[in-house]
Amino acid sequence: MKQVLVDMDGVLADVYAQFIRLEKEESGLVLMPGLLSGKTEAEAFPHYKKHVNSAGFFRTAPLIPGSVEGLKYLNDEYNVLIVSSATEYPDSLKEKLEWLNEFYPFISWQQMIFCGKKDSIQGDIIIDDHPKNLNNFKGQRIIFTQPHNINLPDTTWHRVTTWQEIVEIL
């Protein structure tokens, strides 16, 4: 059975929506997703560091539409591992675990890998929104479209914008 590595932030969790909501609450600034194109999260959101280091940021992130059904499908067909770079923000470890348990109860604790760098995790397919996690991967690479990667022209990965597209290609 093929092993599929699935990122959390930007693939399962809609961190852009979370940042946009928090920036509006914090400063009244309304950021439109289209104006964030080509910018990293740190460049796009003035209070980025504060928010990712705040209690509750990862625990209360909204779902990417279709991710529950899409991940359930993958989990039934493949050996799925959730791989998240969670150690950069230590508070996120517990929050991400709780979040996954709430929204994806069909994913067991044995399928969750919280790490610093993803390049040591092996699989046949990876779904991620950051090219740095795709570039050195040897298997099939799927990039989930987010504002920070929308302008990247690389054709060595398959670009998707929805979970329905992932289900259709896998």
- Note every long-range contact of 119-124, with CB atoms under 8 Å and residues 24 or more positions apart, other chains counting: 121/5, 121/81, 121/83, 122/3, 123/2, 123/3, 123/4, 123/5, 123/81, 124/2, 124/3, 124/4
Among the listed residues 9, 14, 128, 129, the single catalytic one is 9
Cα–Cα distance for residue pair 105/43, rounded to 1 Å = 34
Is 7 among the catalytic positions?
Answer: yes
Identify each DSSP E strand in the chain by its residue range.
Answer: 3-6, 79-85, 112-115, 125-128, 140-144, 158-160
Cα–Cα distance for residue pair 7/134, rounded to 1 Å = 11
Cα–Cα distance for residue pair 157/108, rounded to 1 Å = 28
Four-CA torsion 106, 109, 113, 116, nearest 10 degrees: 120
SS3 (DSSP) at 42: helix
Among the listed residues 7, 14, 128, 129, the single catalytic one is 7
Which are the catalytic amino acids? 7, 9
